[in-house]
Amino acid sequence: MKLKIFISQVDSHTQNGVWIKIPDSNKKFWLSGKCYYPNDYWATIYLNENYTYHCKSGSRGKNRYDVLGSKLIDIFSKGDVKLTENKKVEPITNKPKKLTVRNVDVEEELMR
C-alpha cells in the first residue's frame, strides 16, 4: 500500500534502507530503500500487508521483534486527516461600547 509520511518520521538511513518512526510511540521499523522515495518535506513508502517488518523499541533498540505489514498500515492510516472538511466558521464581531464624553477643565497655562 502506498503511504505518505513526513521526512521527520525517518529516524536514520542505512546503506540498504531506512528506520522509520511509528507514530505516537518510541518504536521504529526498518524499510528497504527500494520501497522508500523521499521528496522535499515528505516521503512515499510502500508497505506490503503480507510482509513481516523488523521493528525495534527503546532508546538503544534492545527490544527487537517482527510486525506484520497489515498492522503497520492500520497504524499509519489512522494518522490521515481530512483537510477538506467543509465546516462553516462564523466570524467573531466585537462591537465596542459607546463612550460618553465629559467636559474637561484645562488650566490656561497648559493651553497653547
Q: pLDDT by residue for the chain (112 residues), tens digit each?
A: 888 888 888 988 888 999 998 887 888 899 999 999 998 888 889 998 888 888 888 767 678 888 888 888 888 887 543 333 445 667 778 888 888 888 888 888 888 7
For residue 81, the model assigns a pLDDT of 36
Please give the model's pTM, rounded to 2 decimal places.
0.64
For residue 17, the model assigns a pLDDT of 92
For residue 86, the model assigns a pLDDT of 45
Rounded distance, CA 79 to CA 34, Å? 23
